[in-house]
Amino acid sequence: MTAVENVTTSVREAVAHVLDVELSGPIAPVSRTAADGTTANEAWLLVRLDGEPLGWQVVPLPVEGLAVDELQRLLDARWGEEVRRRRARAEGFAERHARHLATASRASVVLCTRERPEALAACLESLTAQDHPDFAVWVVDNAPATSTTKDVVDSFTGRLDIRYVVEPRPGLSRARNRALREPLEGDVVAWIDDDEVADPMWLSELTRAMAERPGADAVSGLVVPAELATRAQLWFEQFGGHSKGRGFTPADFGRGSDDRQNPLYPLPPFGVGANMAFRTASLYAIGGFDEALGAGTLTHGAEDTRAFTDLLRGGGATLYRPSAVTRHFHRRDLAGLRRQMEGYGTGLTAFYTSLVADSPLVLGQLARLAGRALRDLTSSSSLRVSGLADDFPAELLSANRAGMTQGPGAYLRQRRLHQRAARTADAPPAAAAADAAWRPTQVVHWDLDDPPADLGLTPDDAARYGAVLFVTWRPARPVALLTLPIAEALDRATREVALRRVPEAPQAPPRVPTSALPGVSVVIPTVLERPEGLARCLDALLRQEHPPVEVLVVDNRREDSSEQAGAAIPELARPGVRLLRQPVPGISAARNRGVAEAAGEIVAFTDDDVQVDRGWTRALAERFVTEPEVDGAGGLVLPSELQTPAQEVFERHSGGTDKPLLPETYALERPHADTWHPARYRVLVRRAGRVVRSYSLYQLGTFMGANMAFRTAALRAQGPFDEALGTGTPSHGGEDVDMVVRMLSAGRSLGYEPAAVTSHVHRRSDAELARQMSGYGTGFTALLTALVARDPRHLVGLVYAALTVLRSRLGRRDPGVTTLLEGLPPELSRLRVRGMLAGPRAYLRTRRRDRS
């Protein structure tokens, strides 16, 4: 049949009332007319026992309504035996729920929204009533056009532990992934949509499921209609609604369960994006959400389905727990439902296309399932169609099938759009200096516990700068990086509002007494071309909170001009500073000279164009004390200035402002695995002991020679820096990453410590940046050549790395995948490629020369 949409139907004449009935308490009569004046001929009763939903009971409503006695009779007839069976259990739902509340740990809730302030307010209001004892809420404002979302969030300050984040690019998956880049708290992150309200036990039931099944990666709950005011809402619910017919029986899927259903088809009833929770580490491990799927894209949905499927196909486990309830406001009008049905069809086949695009071998598995899928699609007895009422519009099924034909093309087009945007929008070309609109960014360090009155900003800055990058500290570590337009940065009230987005400092380990800290030797290789920079660097090192045992300045010039250097840089003559000579050219040779002389238990490295924070050596030394298994640590390198377009391009591509601000630990997944095993070449990244993501061994870019330290004994045991690599050789770089790879390959653990901060003066001119980018390319391939020359097994690892990068180029990015050309303007990309082509020859030529 064809439905005729009646746009004049008043919601005063609802299709059905949707009500909760709690069997453990007194039953109230059900009136045909609700308190808001809405009338209905029937009621959908969500029947519950001690808060646990048992199922639906649909009852007709006579004119006089249902009296208590009649309603009690109907409920007893339907649920009496079930209630007696549950009451006979040794422990009921209420006891299990209460026990969990007593031990529930902190969790995060993410709510992605786009210009729906009224619905957002209702959802947030429901979160204030959660019985979970400890959680934070992250609201991600997706491509905002107004400030209304932020205004709503601000109105809940003080009632919720709430944070506001903007994702300027439209798309639900992008918004979800934006949340994953935030310092989410707790092991579990729950997701709810802005057109829902949460049952008071929603979050605690999700976290209870994860606590009771420690091996599970994800859980989803029950989504029920918040209202059934129109036929369109009833038809949507007949088609499966958001719960897709999952019912009221808990279920487990994947590892450790009795489920044997193929995770590809028919899709197991494992999850719904409107009511789901994941172990945060599991989401990181699969790379988050596919940004070519989901609302706000051409594919309209299925990003949640893809995430659950990736977990199951990877050997994970997911749960369904109907005790975690949310109420969804379905679309009221037929036109909206028609679009939704078409979008569901598009999302379904886009989802399958995404699987094939990422793993072509899946195509064979899908081909074997195609016959069943075709029967289900055309049969009137299929699960979805068999439960539809006679008046269900055939045009809705047609729209759903039409959407299926659009999915593959929509997905591929969306991926191409994302690839094109990534190539053109991530960074402006250095040639932007010719653009009169370009203005520098001021870098300001802001101690939130002891803020200066004016932060060093003056009204004159409005004419000079376009923005301010605030590095916010609390108490002795950076907690957030905020970039504000200059007008907002100069306004105190606006700055204070921006501060609300700054998270609380993570729980720091107890401060290590100075007497228990290891001694630190600091090595600075230099060719004395930057005497002012070296002087500033030495001055900062000599004012450290934890003074270094010694500062070893290694003069790497061929000629000996030590006396001239001492005259030009008085700091070289200060106590604790030693000037060493290393005439063999190259930063690696200079580093090795310093390591040979170092007296400290820790040897730290920095450069003469860097200024270290006053707590730098203490932060590094404390990391080695609090994590004894770590043999090396890298710190956070921030820009000293962003005064030129070249500096801005470098920071976007290679700087530290996109690095995490939480400590991490790196170790190979299986360093001693068989040569052909991919885990031998995969680095696991842990925060507070939990794996949050993984990297290819050859893509670990957190360590930078300007800010790194090692246990002196471990560094000497591992062998010297490769003197055919690094600045000052034809290879131009790679010696720092080479040492990192060697240590990890040997089974050692390394750390990242963002409290150890240095500030670097980036190259200011386009010409300097061009030479640097070309040198980086040469250094990278020279590094890879060095690794293979020493151990040919790295060829296997590089093949795995290349396949991972190929996947990311097709649009599906694994966690930790970056590309050497990402974010670079075309002219710099060409220079980097040219440098990469020169790397192997440069390394081998230097190596032969050194051996001769």
CA–CA separation, 162 and 755 (whole Å):
25
User: What are the pLDDT digits (tens) for 276-313?
Assistant: 999 998 998 888 999 999 998 999 999 999 999 999 88
Return the structure tokens found at 115: 């210009």
User: What are the pLDDT digits (tens) for 611-643?
Assistant: 999 999 999 999 999 999 999 999 999 999 999
pLDDT at 453: 66
pLDDT at 201: 98
- Report the half-sphere exposure of 672 (CA within 13 A, side-chain side): 2
Decide yes or no: CATH 3.30.420.40 for domain 93-424.
no
Mean of the pLDDT values across residues 772-797? Answer: 93
Residue 551 pLDDT more than 90? yes
- The model's pTM is 0.56
User: What are the pLDDT digits (tens) for 139-172?
Assistant: 999 988 888 999 999 999 999 999 999 988 889 9
User: What are the pLDDT digits (tens) for 174-207?
Assistant: 999 999 988 899 999 999 999 999 999 999 999 9
Give span(s): CATH 3.90.550.10, the chain.
93-424
Mean of the pLDDT values across residues 130-144? Answer: 95
Are the CB atoms for 469 and 442 separated by under 8 Å? yes
Answer with the residue of higher pLDDT: 325 or 452: 325
User: What are the pLDDT digits (tens) for 387-437?
Assistant: 687 888 989 988 988 999 999 999 998 888 877 766 544 444 443 333 446
pLDDT at 450: 79
CA–CA separation, 812 and 303 (whole Å):
12
Answer with the residue of higher pLDDT: 534 or 849: 534
pLDDT at 456: 81
pLDDT at 373: 67
Residue 109 carries which side chain, given as an amino acid letter?
Answer: V
Instruction: Give Rg (Cα) of the chain.
Output: 31
Q: Is residue 823 very low, low, confident or very high in pLDDT (cuts 50, 70, 90)?
A: low
CA–CA separation, 120 and 144 (whole Å):
14
Return the structure tokens found at 671: 């360093």
Helix orientation angle between 362-378 and 334-358, rounded to the nearest 10 degrees: 150
pLDDT at 740: 95
Torsion on CA atoms 409, 415, 417, 418, rounded to nearest 10: 160
Are the CB atoms for 119 and 195 separated by under 8 Å? yes
User: What are the pLDDT digits (tens) for 459-482?
Assistant: 888 888 889 999 999 878 899 898
Q: What is the DSSP letter of 737?
A: H
Q: Is residue 575 very low, low, confident or very high in pLDDT (cuts 50, 70, 90)?
A: very high
Phi, psi dihedrals of residue 491, rounded to the nearest 5°: -90, 120
∠ Cα 79 84 87 (to 5°):
120
pLDDT at 448: 85
The share of the chain scoring above pLDDT 90, in percent, equals 60
| Spatial strand order in the sheet of 42-49 | 17-22, 42-49, 52-60
pLDDT at 7: 35
User: What are the pLDDT digits (tens) for 715-763?
Assistant: 999 989 999 999 999 999 999 999 999 999 999 999 999 999 999 999 8
104, with CB counted inside 10 A (0-12, 13-18, 19+), is buried
Residue 29 pLDDT more than 50? yes
pLDDT at 783: 94
